[in-house]
A and B are shown apart, each in its own frame.
Chain A
Amino acid sequence: MLIFTLVGSIWLEIFLKVGVLRRIKRALLSILPVSVIFLIWDYYAVTQGHWWFDEKQVVGIFGPRGVPLEEFLFFLVVPLASLLTIEAVRSRRPHWKFGDEK
């Protein structure tokens, strides 16, 4: 699923030249605070039993409290894919302004 998301969005960087990975500092400043906030939520949910993962269907590397590696990667890959998506829309529709243009 993570590979699907990554492959499904990373081509935007290469072919549409959206330049998200090129602007890695801005990307990390946008992704990491979100990763931290949502990991806290995730940990709350896991410890309260809101959701759980099938141990047989993950690669088998676990962080504290049995949260699989995939879950940590999820909070990096999905926000990154969202930035690639919005920049891809911008590259196709340059007249739709965000107010951060040069």
Chain B
Amino acid sequence: MTYTQLAILSVLLVIITDRYLLKVRLLEKKSYWTAYAIIIFFQLLTNWWLTSRNILSYSEEVIIGWRIASAPVEDLLFGFSMVTLTMSLWIFWGRKGIQRD
């Protein structure tokens, strides 16, 4: 599979996991979107650094070719999936009563 396909698939799987498996429904929370807005700003900054200096490079064959701040747009989907799943699990464990405070 290409990076584009995997990135889209990961977003769908994370949304389904958050909503139906963990039942956290993070995407309906104002706090989540506030945190995500902060995260995406820093992701663009750090991703720009890594890709513009060629610390990290991508094969043009597996990406759609749209770039934001020098990084493939797929990275935003990858980042969304990774941080959303982490935060959803955090709330899930909290609801289970694990280290609530």
Contacts and interface: CB of A to CB of B under 8 A. Distances in A.
Nearest to A19: B101
A39 B54 CA distance: 21
Interface residues of A, number: 47
Interface of A is mostly: helix
Contact of B30 (A51, A79, A96): A96
Contacts of B2: 50
B50 interface: yes
Contacts of B62: 48-50
Interface of B is mostly: helix
Interface string A25-69: 111011101100110010011001111111001100000000000
Given A33-B89, A78-B82, A89-B34, A98 B94 contact: yes
Interface residues of B, number: 43
A85 B87 CA distance: 10
A57 B31 CA distance: 36
B61 to A, nearest CB: 8
A37 B49 CA distance: 25
B95 A99 contact: yes
B31 to A, nearest CB: 4
Given A30-B86, A45-B6, 18 more contacts: A5-B42, A8-B42, A25-B98, A25-B99, A29-B93, A41-B78, A50-B3, A50-B59, A51-B59, A78-B79, A79-B82, A83-B87, A85-B39, A88-B35, A93-B34, A98-B31, A100-B91, A102-B101
Interface of B: 2-3, 6, 10, 24, 29-32, 34-35, 38-39, 42, 46, 49-50, 53-59, 62, 78-79, 82-83, 85-87, 89-95, 98-101
